[in-house]
Each structure stands twice: as structure tokens, then as C-alpha cells.
Amino acid sequence: MIGLVDFPNPRYPREQNYVVSPIFGKPEDWTAANPIHDVERLRGKTIWFATADHSFDHAMNRELDRILNQREIPHTFEVVQATHSFAVVTELLPKLLDAFERSLT
């Protein structure tokens, strides 16, 4: 939910690429941890993610959805009409928890 799945990435618009503060580690470490660069490791896992259509992470989440579809890796991707806000978390949290529960059974 509101995932930074390909961050930082200069290919996205500038408003979607904030500088990673040193307190959060080196930018190259973030790049290596981004699931978009190794989606095969997600195969066989329950994948659920969501974003808001006017949030800063929208493009990168859409790109992850595109790559997962291209590789035929099953997943659920939801987009709500909103900005990056607490209201999005409130709306999506029950769906996230449901996906967690389903992954445990």
C-alpha cells in the first residue's frame, strides 16, 4: 500500500523522485531492494498492492503492475481516486489485511 517499489528512479517525473534522506540509507541500497528489479522472486507469493491515482508513487506502482502482467505473475493491484493521504490508508487497510489473511490460509 503506497509502495515505493522503484524509488528513487530519475525516469519518473521529478515530483515522484524525492531525494532519499541519508537517515534512510544510500540511494543505491534502495534501488537494490526495489521489487520491480527482480519480480521473479515474487512468483508464487500472494501479491497485493495499491496506490492512489494522484499520489507520488502512482507511476512506479503502475509500472510494477505492467511488469507483473507481462511476466504472468498473479497479483492484485488496486487504484483509488485520491491523493497520497491518510484517507487512502483508511480505505485500503481492510483490503490489505484481507490479503494478508488469505495468504496465511
- Global pTM reads 0.85
Write down the pLDDT at residue 39: 95
Write down the pLDDT at residue 10: 82
pLDDT in tens, 10-41: 888 888 877 778 888 887 788 888 899 999 99
pLDDT confidence bin for 53, thresholds 50/70/90: very high
DSSP string of 33-102, one letter each residue: H-GGG-GGGGTTS--EEEEEEESTTHHHHHHHHHHHHHTT---EEEEEEEESSHHHHHHHHHHHHHHHHH
Reply yes or no on whether the pLDDT at 3 is more than 80: no
Residue spans of the domains in the chain: they are 14-104
Write down the pLDDT at residue 70: 98
Query: What is the spatial distance between Cα 24 and Cα 101, in angstroms, rounded to a whole number?
Result: 30
What letter does residue 105 receive in the DSSP assignment?
Answer: -
pLDDT in tens, 56-86: 888 999 999 999 999 999 999 999 998 888 8
